[in-house]
Chain A
């Protein structure tokens, strides 16, 4: 593979218009850095987005880009990928975009395992429309549209993706550049659909959205890094561990006391039972790859069928148009 474009070459000359301090800046930098590491020519990237602050993303990426409709990016990305399987197709979406108006499209894209990479910027709020509650807002949160507090319960994006049968699901954080870049690189190399939930701060409408993870203390206490083949340990010096509780749930154990009980992370497990449990945790917060399994990507399946049909074709257009029951008038 030749030298790919540099990180700087992925930047456009459009002024970036997010609020100063918005978590989206850090994500943009990480995506540009990670793309540069892939060694793929710029013209092979397509970034597709919906509507929202996050969905302005394509304008800032010097690749092909399509800023589409609220919630509808997965369909457009699917059409692109089915037409051009050789392209690296990315979807940038927000929690409202992906999980409210576009929830159906998102789940079906994952179910189909079409080879698109979805970056879900979760700031637990509607940023662009000025701070209304989103499908990931916590119960009780007061916002302009929920002055009495959010009355319903939030979605967990990773759990939803797993339930849809996603073959690659990961979570990272806007500010954790190195980790986020690693997740992006892994998603890029996955065959089939990939989703990364990126915890993102909106310092205007939901400041400290994930303070329990991003704060200095929180990072040490609450983050559980998922690493394939490594025990599920977290806390200072890995002093806490997770084990199966025998009743279908997870329980915290002391690895010093019961080292054998601590679960070893298996992102390639054929069924998603343990990843499902991890996806439902509020504390600790797992970061990393929940699931990475291989299954045929839709675009490949359709291509192969088409090629097989072409090879088996036993007539040209003229025969097709005439059909089996034509007659000739002299």
Chain B
């Protein structure tokens, strides 16, 4: 609960609310992502639960002040569990007219707008945003609580004697705004000050300027009193332990270091830059000390080839990419299936096809991951549900790859990659054992494809092992590893490879409900990054008296056991996903389930309200 609000002249959230959604928006050169990220960091440190949604244009610097150049960062934080970055903002900070225009539709009616009024003083800025008259004066913002703050001018004044040039001063605006937000929501400045210290170690002048802008914004909040007092959102009640803020791509990098450290394997991350996957490569390349080598290949094919070579050599190959890159890697995935080598392929999905919406989020690579190869080439597919879950999912993928000698695809997505949340840092004892099973004793060798009776995996033999020299490759082999064109052998081997993947399900937790109980009126099934939105919608509808349950899939192949039986206990099943019905197709085809679809492909996370509407329409009734 929120600390009793003494007369808050202008509370940004409705009375009794203990959660706030803020969106900061400006030009892509305004440092919006940075300000957002720092605010999230301070909010995490303040102990709130949170979820974020960065949204930036595909162009590095679209023309300044234009609508396509607008960059935004949304964060929802609360004293209770936060599952999504929020459908609509309670507070919008707009750095310029374009940012106001693009983001106003996502502000809730009656919400607070803080505008950088300096940017509304000049005609061109208004015109670039398509405003004929100044929206601060023409009454078009009447339904909102508008606070013009001359962020540009105040920053300039604060830095008047800093000795910096006009452009550099201009670039400190984001810290002024961050200072203001920090006052409004009682966020401590220390973490940000520490961050400035580290970041500008080599530029004391910039460090000083940003520090000053930050504190100036903070003091401005205090003197100008946009609200009577800061709105305090006390810490959320969370499990004891060490916590940190974590985004999905950082989580993957940490998982790779954990993997190398825990398994003792040489991990090779071989990748080719592509949004939104590149930051995994950037971050992992700083983790050499933990036994991960990174290799930026000449293209995605060279990258997955190097990763597969690493696995053949007895290490663990990993490659990260996005949809277009996964398409290029397809032929190598076939080879990895054929040669039965461990390999972890991480696809950070974005809007497609083709270049599509490169900086936006989507879940439309599911069927490509499952089936986008020549020949019968089944492989396990997993999807994380939240930014922090990327850590656990990558470890799980590696466990399966090593245990079953198979390539594994992990389907993350832009929303998880860039979004952050509080993450409870696991202790050593909570990390899974990762024990690679390599064969080095020639006495125990029976044949390259003679399988382990339990996992059906073939032996993994690293080159350099005396007495076990052998050849593998794309041509079909018999059990002893000899090239074979025999029809019966091929049919046997196709079946054996499929059985090996199917058997992984023995090792997985059976299908289980997230919310609700068997016999409810509706089951909502989702996978991957929609977990937060689906859970929030289902909880809200249950609170409104509707009997709706949910189930979320981490394993898309093989599917958990008992899924068909469990789903069969509901009169109606709704599959919610951000594509045009790929999981629905799978569930109909694989399990014969009669499902309905809720799908959106707008490049943004689900709007919880829309999903709730659909649930309410199906279930009917309710008490709200």
A-side interface residues toward B, CB under 8 Å? 12, 14, 41-44, 46, 48-49, 51, 58-59, 61-69, 72-84, 86-87, 104-105, 108, 302, 305-306, 309-310, 312-313, 317-318, 320-330
Report which residue of A65, A66, A81, A320 has the largest number of chain B beta carbons within 10 angstroms of its beta carbon. Answer: A66
Distance of A72 Cα from B304 Cα, bound (Å): 10
B165 contact set on A, CB distance < 8 A:
none
Partner of B261, one of A61, A64, A317: A317
Distance of A310 Cα from B292 Cα, bound (Å): 11
Q: Is B241 an interface residue (CB 8 A)?
A: yes
Report which residue of B47, B427, B469 has the largest number of chain A beta carbons within 10 angstroms of its beta carbon. Answer: B469
Distance of A121 Cα from B305 Cα, bound (Å): 21
CB-based contact B302/A317 at 8 Å: no
CB-based contact B268/A43 at 8 Å: no
CB-based contact B191/A76 at 8 Å: no
Distance of A44 Cα from B268 Cα, bound (Å): 20
How distant is B538 from chain A, measured CB to nearest CB, in Å? 27
Contacts beyond the supplied A69-B332, A317-B258, A326-B425: 10 A-B pairs with Cβ under 8 Å:
A63-B469, A65-B469, A75-B301, A78-B306, A79-B270, A104-B298, A310-B288, A317-B290, A326-B243, A327-B44
Can you show 27 pairs from A to B with CB atoms below 8 A apart?
A43-B464, A43-B466, A43-B468, A58-B473, A66-B312, A67-B473, A68-B308, A69-B332, A75-B302, A76-B312, A79-B295, A79-B307, A79-B309, A80-B309, A84-B313, A84-B464, A105-B298, A105-B302, A313-B289, A313-B290, A320-B257, A321-B254, A322-B244, A325-B44, A325-B245, A327-B242, A328-B242
Partner of A323, one of B244, B305, B428, B469: B244
Q: Is B224 an interface residue (CB 8 A)?
A: no
Distance of A318 Cα from B125 Cα, bound (Å): 49
Report which residue of B257, B258, B471 has the largest number of chain A beta carbons within 10 angstroms of its beta carbon. Answer: B471
CB closest chain-A residue, reference B428:
A318
A80 contact set on B, CB distance < 8 A:
309-310, 312-313, 463
CB closest chain-B residue, reference A42:
B469
Distance of A62 Cα from B469 Cα, bound (Å): 7
B467 contact set on A, CB distance < 8 A:
43
1/0 contact trace for B318-331 toward A, CB 8 Å? 00000000000001
1/0 contact trace for B200-220 toward A, CB 8 Å? 000000000000000000000
B305 contact set on A, CB distance < 8 A:
68-69, 72-76, 78-79, 105
Q: Is B13 an interface residue (CB 8 A)?
A: no
CB-based contact A82/B288 at 8 Å: no
B47 contact set on A, CB distance < 8 A:
327, 329
Number of B residues with CB within 8 Å of any CB on chain A: 73
Distance of A302 Cα from B266 Cα, bound (Å): 13
Q: 10 smallest A-B Cβ distances: which pairs?
A: A79-B309, A67-B473, A75-B305, A79-B306, A65-B471, A64-B463, A76-B309, A309-B289, A313-B289, A83-B313
Q: Is B475 an interface residue (CB 8 A)?
A: yes
- Beyond A72-B332, A87-B463, whether A310 also contacts B289 by CB under 8 A is yes
CB closest chain-A residue, reference B301:
A72
B314 contact set on A, CB distance < 8 A:
83-84
- Beyond A46-B463, A321-B425, A322-B425, whether A79 also contacts B310 by CB under 8 A is yes
Q: Using a CB-CB cutoff of 8 Å, which residues 274-302 of chain B contact chain A?
A: 287-291, 293, 295, 297-299, 301-302
CB-based contact B335/A44 at 8 Å: no
Q: Is B495 an interface residue (CB 8 A)?
A: no
CB-based contact A48/B244 at 8 Å: no
A302 contact set on B, CB distance < 8 A:
293
B291 contact set on A, CB distance < 8 A:
306
Partner of B288, one of A14, A63, A66, A309: A309
Distance of A309 Cα from B257 Cα, bound (Å): 13
A305 contact set on B, CB distance < 8 A:
288
CB-based contact A65/B306 at 8 Å: no
Distance of A294 Cα from B412 Cα, bound (Å): 43
CB-based contact A329/B483 at 8 Å: no
Distance of A42 Cα from B467 Cα, bound (Å): 9
Partner of A44, one of B240, B310, B331, B464: B464
Q: Using a CB-CB cutoff of 8 Å, which residues 565-588 of chain B contact chain A?
A: none
Q: Using a CB-CB cutoff of 8 Å, which residues 211-245 of chain B contact chain A?
A: 235, 238-245
Distance of A1 Cα from B165 Cα, bound (Å): 67
CB closest chain-B residue, reference A328:
B242
Q: Is B602 an interface residue (CB 8 A)?
A: no
Distance of A320 Cα from B298 Cα, bound (Å): 30
- Beyond A75-B297, A76-B308, whether A59 also contacts B261 by CB under 8 A is no
1/0 contact trace for B46-63 toward A, CB 8 Å? 010000000000000000
Distance of A81 Cα from B314 Cα, bound (Å): 11
Distance of A19 Cα from B331 Cα, bound (Å): 28
CB-based contact A321/B306 at 8 Å: no
Partner of B41, one of A317, A321, A325: A325
CB closest chain-B residue, reference A10:
B469
How distant is B142 from chain A, measured CB to nearest CB, in Å? 41
CB-based contact A68/B299 at 8 Å: no
A328 contact set on B, CB distance < 8 A:
241-243
B198 contact set on A, CB distance < 8 A:
324
Distance of A321 Cα from B254 Cα, bound (Å): 7
Q: Is B474 an interface residue (CB 8 A)?
A: yes
- Beyond A59-B483, A82-B310, A309-B288, whether A326 also contacts B242 by CB under 8 A is yes
Distance of A329 Cα from B45 Cα, bound (Å): 10
CB-based contact B299/A67 at 8 Å: no
CB closest chain-A residue, reference B473:
A67
B262 contact set on A, CB distance < 8 A:
317
How distant is B198 from chain A, measured CB to nearest CB, in Å? 8
Q: Is B317 an interface residue (CB 8 A)?
A: yes
Partner of B469, one of A14, A64, A74, A326: A64
Partner of B475, one of A67, A78, A108, A326: A67
CB closest chain-A residue, reference B237:
A329
B474 contact set on A, CB distance < 8 A:
51, 67-69
Distance of A81 Cα from B462 Cα, bound (Å): 13
A74 contact set on B, CB distance < 8 A:
302, 305
CB closest chain-A residue, reference B335:
A69
A326 contact set on B, CB distance < 8 A:
242-244, 425
Q: Is B101 an interface residue (CB 8 A)?
A: no
Q: Is B403 an interface residue (CB 8 A)?
A: no
Partner of A69, one of B299, B306, B331: B331
Q: Is B560 an interface residue (CB 8 A)?
A: no
Distance of A86 Cα from B465 Cα, bound (Å): 12
Q: Is B375 an interface residue (CB 8 A)?
A: no
Q: Is B303 an interface residue (CB 8 A)?
A: yes
CB-based contact B471/A322 at 8 Å: no
B470 contact set on A, CB distance < 8 A:
64-65
Partner of A75, one of B240, B306, B427, B483: B306
B303 contact set on A, CB distance < 8 A:
75
A76 contact set on B, CB distance < 8 A:
305-306, 308-309, 312
Q: Is B8 an interface residue (CB 8 A)?
A: no
Distance of A81 Cα from B36 Cα, bound (Å): 42
CB-based contact A330/B240 at 8 Å: yes
Partner of A83, one of B240, B310, B427: B310
Distance of A325 Cα from B426 Cα, bound (Å): 15
Distance of A312 Cα from B335 Cα, bound (Å): 39
How distant is B560 from chain A, measured CB to nearest CB, in Å? 28
Report which residue of A48, A322, A323 has the largest number of chain B beta carbons within 10 angstroms of its beta carbon. Answer: A323
Distance of A306 Cα from B470 Cα, bound (Å): 30
A84 contact set on B, CB distance < 8 A:
313-315, 462-464
Partner of A108, one of B287, B302, B462: B302
CB-based contact A66/B243 at 8 Å: no
How distant is B138 from chain A, measured CB to nearest CB, in Å? 44
